[in-house]
Amino acid sequence: MAIQILKDLRGLRVHVIHPPDEERTSLTEHLRRIGCSVETTWPVPADWPAADIVLLAIEQDARAEIVRLLKSDPHSRPTLIAVVGYENPSTLQLVLESGAVAVVERPIRPFGLLTNLTIARSLWLEREEARKRFAKLERKLSGIQKIQKAKSILMENQGLSEEEAYQSIRRQAMAKRVPMEDMAVSIINAAELLNFRPRS
């Protein structure tokens, strides 16, 4: 996987959010030498740029803008690398809050940049994979809970055993060519509709 990540670095879209100075020039030059496609922005934008990797300068005078960016849509967040010029508690706090997966120190040096990009990308890909697995498990658990509720409704209203209720849901789902979870939702909705009592 590491070899593939190294290969993939060439051509990755990298966005550098950094004041326009010599450090930014040096950083963009190094990134282009690695083979990345680089764009730059300053001041800090309100939303995440369309990029695979973002290098964000942690500037105390831009703290409010950085916090606003961090609170924008988390689902479109790219791999984030913090760029810091000094270490103090407030800077470190902002780095931690940012969720950065790597840190590049100023003054910018070529040595270590490729390592940081590789590690950051690897960690981000692992996080994304874990997030997708977690979302899949949540959907599966939700589906199981819906099927369980639908079974309880059929058992109570039609006097079926648990296995009979399950098979009934399964047969109806197959007949209608829909997932069992969708069939369970239909049964739950129908039961709620039938039990609805308008206020007098």
Residue span of the structural domain in which 64 resides: 2-111
State the average pLDDT over residues 131-138: 86
Signed CA dihedral, 51, 55, 56, 57: sign only: negative
For 142-182, the pLDDT digits (tens) are: 989 999 999 998 888 888 898 889 899 999 999 989 999 99
Mean pLDDT, rounded, for 64-75: 82
**pLDDT classification of 17: cutoffs 50, 70, 90:** very high
* CATH number, domain with residue 173: 1.10.10.10
CA distance linking residue 106 with residue 109, whole number of Å = 8
Please report whether residue 155 resides in a domain. yes
> Does residue 164 lie within any of the structural domains?
yes
Q: What is the pLDDT of residue 9?
A: 65
Give percent above pLDDT 70 in the chain: 92
- Quick: pLDDT tens for 37-47: 889 999 999 88
Residue 75, token pair as written in the block: 């689902």
Is there a domain that residue 107 lies in?
Answer: yes
Residue 37 CA from chain centroid, whole number: 22
Q: Are residues 24 and 106 in the same domain?
A: yes
Tell me which of 9-18, 37-46, 120-129 is least confident.
120-129
Question: What's phi and psi for 52, nearest 5 deg?
Answer: -85, -40
> What's the pLDDT at 56?
92
pLDDT at residue 18 tops 90 = yes
**Has residue 200 been placed in a domain?**
no
Task: Provide the token pair at 106.
Answer: 């100023």
89 and 6 in one domain? yes
What is residue 91's predicted lDDT score, i.e. its pLDDT?
81
Would you state the pLDDT for residue 40?
93
Q: Which residues pair with 41 in a beta bridge?
A: 17
Q: Are residues 7 and 77 in the same domain?
A: yes
**74 and 148, same structural domain?**
no
**CATH code for the domain of 7:** 3.40.50.2300
